[in-house]
Chains A and B, each alone.
Chain A
């Protein structure tokens, strides 16, 4: 079965410093991986996705993630944190659920706090 593990439940950074949110995946074949962000009392917004093209994926709002097969990792980074980045971030793997359909399997989430 495919799964993702988010290594930190809570990350706190100062405004203007780099962000690193860590995610490891488990998959028997090349996975499709995503990062979603959820602001308080809001739905989920797609930040970026990896689907076996370029290993370095650029997303919205200055975020990017690098797929490293040797390390089974898909960490999310941003060079400089902004106050508006404070939110919950989910690492997600797409799993085949039969009959030509797919489901998303979510990690437990990492809450990012940004200190002014």
Chain B
């Protein structure tokens, strides 16, 4: 079975530009989460989506947006890029067991560099 896939793997942008990152969850998973990991720190929660609806949002500005499609893949958009947006962006595919316990499985990430 394929794991979580993300594209592109690397991306270089300049300040003020816009970027779109893509994620495909594990087959059968209906929920995805997005995280930002700045160099040297742990990942920070950005969004969670479940069946195309936003279910949770972290402490990020409105420049960050996301959406989920009917096939459960997702896109993360960042507008008006700042140097501080340079980071590894991780997508997680969320599963829930019979007891309702959720586990998140991560993709390899997209490394964004803003110049």
Contact = CB atoms under 8 A, between A and B. Distances in A.
A31 to B, nearest CB: 12
Nearest to B45: A103
Of the candidates B31, B99, B102, B109, the one having the most CB atoms from chain A within 10 angstroms of its own CB is B102
Nearest to B96: A102
Contacts of A34: 103
B57 to A, nearest CB: 8
B102 A43 contact: no
Given A42-B108, A43-B90, A43-B109, A102 B42 contact: no
Secondary structure of the B contact surface, majority rule? strand
Interface in B21-74: 31, 33, 35, 41-45, 48, 50, 55-58
Q: How many B residues touch the partner, as a band?
A: 20 to 34
Given A51-B101, A101-B56, A43 B45 contact: no
Contacts of B45: 97, 103-105
Contacts of A103: 33, 45, 48, 56, 58
Interface of A: 32, 34, 36, 42-46, 49, 51, 90, 94, 97-109
